[in-house]
Structure 1
Amino acid sequence: MILSVCPPAFAAEVAAAVAQTPFQGVYLDANAISPRHTWQIDELFRRRGGVTVVDGGIVGPPPRREGVTRLYLSGAVASQVEALFTDTFLQPIVLDGPVGQASALKLAFALYNKLTFALAAQSYALAEQHGVGDELRELAGAKLAGTPLGEPAGIVSAGQKAWRWEGEMAEIAAACADGGLPPGLLTAAEALFARWQDYRDDPAVTVEQLLASLKDS
């Protein structure tokens, strides 16, 4: 089995590179890509022969402890792949459906989960612009505790990972457009996360820096 986990923009390139090798077996694509792009990878290997594609969707942080991170699987041999992750920190869950379902579930969850950080950042940037940033922190802490707005320190983690999230927003936008849903919300989030590219994995970045980068010069 080959397990592909990379930034979404490179998923097709990685699959094409594998297709040029003599590899025979199962190709588990666990990237945050749209169902359509997963189908295209499946079709690539169907034409080539000798490889069966399983669709994977990782939900959660890096699996460093049990019960936190899930791996959704779909496709003809998903149940066989499930067995490979027994007794690991990843919790495999097989969906009774074709390639594309695991990706759809992953993106649907990410749409809400990651957009909340974009919305929180935009809210605080607006409040700071008008001198009511501290007041918004107090209000959100009282009314929306446990959310990115109520706990703005979480925006730092989003800023550090925005280099990956930008591409994920593009994939979700494509999935929405393919399904006849408006993609504008996702393209706006993609543009917001693009402004945080310079803070990739930066342990010293602050909320203040991230908010300042949202303001047009």
Structure 2
Amino acid sequence: MIHADVGIVHPGSMGARVAAQAVAAGATVWWLPQERSVATRERAAELGLRPAGSMAELTAECAVVLSVCPPAAALDVARQVAATGFDGIYVDANAVSPRRTEQIAEVVGSNGATLADGGITGPPPREAGTTRLYLSGDDAAMETVRTLFDGTLLTPVVLAGPAGRASALKLAFAAYNKISYALAAQACALADDHGVLDDLRDLAAHLLPGTPLAGPRQLASAGPRAWRWEPEMREIAEAWRASGLPGSFADAAAETFERWEAHKDDRTVTSERLIADLRGRGPGETT
């Protein structure tokens, strides 16, 4: 069992489950309830998280701070933590580019904190073998974080080399995985425009079973998550361009996901609705 104080900012659906694994390992996990929803507060209480009165209190109590937030907020969260004078281990486990990781390392390092670059793959950890936390950067910091989650439902995987490698791996996987949803939606929208959507799905079920193109429910699952995926695509586009690659695939996916932001956390949205949103009309409407 680990006996340590760990802070998490800010526990959404993924962050809360990550925090729960630290609690299960024996850590005391602190969080900030200010300006959080009733549902988030109830989830935190259910998982055994301890509320802090301020960011300063959280960082004063904790030797390790985990950042699990939307990519667009990652740098700002790092600045908030750094402003308190935090000098422990800062784990940025967000879907950000290696360049953004360098910026975060510079920010948190201004007070002597050490960055552990993290990348979470898979769903929120609820069962063994589904979710990994890749780590890169300072060896001692990575070992501390690895020990924190070792034996939990969140499997830590240490990558040799500098900070930024875990983020690059996360974005490389996300690029293939999530852009496939945008591509499937665009293909379906084209087929729908010509009255052959059912035929496309039948063809995909025959040749590409288990993909978003073949499964309306699978495609629909992108709708509630599009508000998080859109800024992630921006990070992927930046990372690709920094590597001398075209970023247009990710730019186009970001534009696609942006059209679905109104469906944030709406688990009832259908693939027909998402396709209609791309075409700028209601489900079933024709030209």
Which TM-score applies when normalising by structure 2?
0.74
2:106 equivalent in structure 1: 43
Q: How does 1:115-134 map to 2 (within 5 A)?
A: 115-134=179-198
1:74 equivalent in structure 2: 136
Q: Could you tell me how far apart the structure 2 residues matched to 1:87 and 1:156 are?
A: 34
Aligned partner (choices 113, 122, 128) of residue 60 of structure 1: 122
Deviation at 1:136, TM superposition (A): 0.6
In the alignment, is the contact (CA less than 8 A) between 1:120 and 1:152 conserved in 2?
no
Structure 1 range deviating more: 74-83 or 50-59: 74-83
In the alignment, is the contact (CA less than 8 A) between 2:85 and 2:111 conserved in 1?
no
Aligned partner (choices 75, 87, 103) of residue 24 of structure 1: 87
| Aligned residue type for 2:277 | S
Secondary structure of the 2:278 match is: coil
In the alignment, is the contact (CA less than 8 A) between 1:117 and 1:148 conserved in 2?
yes
In the alignment, is the contact (CA less than 8 A) between 2:97 and 2:171 conserved in 1?
yes
The structure 1 segments of at least 4 consecutive aligned residues displaced by more than 6 Å after TM superposition are none
Deviation at 1:148, TM superposition (A): 1.3
Q: Could you tell me how far apart the structure 2 residues matched to 1:144 and 1:112 are?
A: 16
Deviation at 1:80, TM superposition (A): 2.2
| Aligned residue type for 1:209 | R
1:33 equivalent in structure 2: 96
Gaps of 5+ in 2: 1-63, 282-287
Q: Could you tell me how far apart the structure 2 residues matched to 1:203 and 1:57 are?
A: 25
Deviation at 1:186, TM superposition (A): 0.6
Q: Could you tell me how far apart the structure 1 residues matched to 2:184 and 2:217 are?
A: 10
Larger relative contact order (Cα-Cα within 8 Å, sequence gap ≥ 6): 1
Q: Could you tell me how far apart the structure 1 residues matched to 2:124 and 2:107 are?
A: 29
Secondary structure of the 1:140 match is: helix
Aligned partner (choices 158, 177, 197) of residue 241 of structure 2: 177
What percent identity do the matched residue pairs reach? 56
Q: How many residues align?
A: 216
CA RMSD of aligned residues (A): 1.0
2:230 equivalent in structure 1: 166
Deviations along 1:151-193, one digit per CA (max 9) or x if unpaired, are 2311111111000000000000010111111001110100000
Matched, 1:15 2:72: no
Matched, 1:104 2:163: no
Matched, 1:198 2:262: yes
In the alignment, is the contact (CA less than 8 A) between 1:71 and 1:93 conserved in 2?
yes
In the alignment, is the contact (CA less than 8 A) between 2:131 and 2:155 conserved in 1?
yes
Deviation at 1:198, TM superposition (A): 0.5
| Aligned residue type for 1:203 | R
Q: Could you tell me how far apart the structure 1 residues matched to 2:108 and 2:151 are?
A: 30
Q: Could you tell me how far apart the structure 2 residues matched to 1:45 and 1:120 are?
A: 39
Secondary structure of the 1:65 match is: coil
